[in-house]
Amino acid sequence: MFTLAHMSDIHLGPLPKVKGRQLLSKRLLGYVNWHRGRKFVHRRDILDLLTNDLKARGPDHIAVTGDLTNLGLPQEFPLTAEWLRNLGSPDAVTVIPGNHDAYVRVDPDKATAHWRPFMEGNEPGQALYEQVPGEFPFVRRFGDIALIGLSSAIPTAPFIAAGRLGTEQRRALGDILDRMGRDGLFRVVLIHHPPLPGQAGWRRALRDAAEVRDILRDHGAELVLHGHNHEQSLVEFETVSGPAVVVGAPSASEAVDGRIPAARYNEYAIERAGNGWRVEMTGRAATREGEVQESEKRVIRSR
């Protein structure tokens, strides 16, 4: 059995000191929104509560699907890299970026390059797909389990939080899924934006969701993990190799009055079952009492 934990939409606070010239962009609106409300919603104490619980449970691997930062400021990326190192080593943690991590166009060396050890294929994964350094997709393989890291993060105009994979990533994704399918691997696709049409409104949607859905359908996948919507969701649809289960996770730092539990992470116990796979999902959520409790436990795949 392989256990995979999934967190998303960290929105690490507090916001570091911002230079005035950095607000001469879309960031100005985000800065105002942060101080008017988001800093009360995305709480570091809630995030620490969940991460301490996750680490105590000791999963085999942890996936973090984007939006670690708030405004995509260069000074946020070293802080989030430190948070990732505290979560686990690069061998034990995989991360991909979200739209907040590409809030505006920034030199990668001042931004997501700080996370590069967590966004590179491992040696068995490179044997399946040789990653171009610093680019996507990348593949990490752990026995019969393979993770495919994608980036849907693109800079957008104010009031827009959309994403896109683009032609090259989509082409590579189909090829990778085919290779893994021939090897009988359990394929986990990591993406920030919901990958299916209709899962998010136009301002927040994956622009090439229809194409991504077709790739998953035509090439096969077992599990797709995403964030972005800040809510728990689960959709199953048929592919050429059987059902694919698409699961969205809530924000791991969100505390919203009237919606408890809000902050949550999911843990997946993955094992072979005859000629197929069995996957049990356990939700672990923060409570008003400052604890983490099991909020859901269900088998989401049994063939």
Tens of pLDDT, residue by residue over 180-202, are: 999 999 999 999 999 999 999 99
Q: How much is the pLDDT for 69?
A: 98
Task: Retrieve residue 301's tokens.
Answer: 């795949």
Q: What is the pTM of this model?
A: 0.97
Instruction: For residue 238, give the CATH number of its domain.
Output: 3.60.21.10
Sheet with 138-142, edge to edge strand ranges? 138-142, 145-149, 186-190, 223-226, 242-248, 233-239
Distance CA 203, CA 222 (A): 28
> How many Cα atoms sit within 13 Å of 88 on the Cβ side?
21
Distance CA 286, CA 118 (A): 26
Q: Which residues does the chain have with pLDDT short of 70?
A: 257-261
The three-class DSSP label of residue 120 is coil
Encoded amino acid at 98, one letter: G
The three-class DSSP label of residue 164 is coil
Which residue range forms the structural domain that includes residue 271? Answer: 2-301
Report the b/e string of 136-153 with b at 16+ CB within 10 A. bbbbbbbeebbbbbbbbb
How far is the CA of 53 from the CAs of 59, 65, 198, 265, 283, in angstroms? 11, 18, 33, 10, 12
User: Which residue do the tokens 């080593």 mark?
Assistant: 89
Task: Retrieve residue 276's tokens.
Answer: 């197929």
Beta carbons of 276 and 242 less than 8 angstroms apart: yes
> How many Cα atoms sit within 13 Å of 94 on the Cβ side?
32
> How far from the centroid of its chain's Cα atoms is residue 96's Cα?
6
Q: How much is the pLDDT for 257?
A: 60
Q: How much is the pLDDT for 260?
A: 55
The three-class DSSP label of residue 146 is strand
| Total tally of structural domains belonging to the chain | 1
Helices and strands of the chain, counted as H and E runs: 7, 12
User: Which residue do the tokens 């070293």 mark?
Assistant: 78
Beta carbons of 231 and 248 less than 8 angstroms apart: yes
The three-class DSSP label of residue 235 is strand
Distance CA 280, CA 300 (A): 6
Question: Residue 77 is inside which H or E element, if any?
Answer: helix 76-87
Q: How much is the pLDDT for 151?
A: 98
User: Which residue do the tokens 């619980």 mark?
Assistant: 53
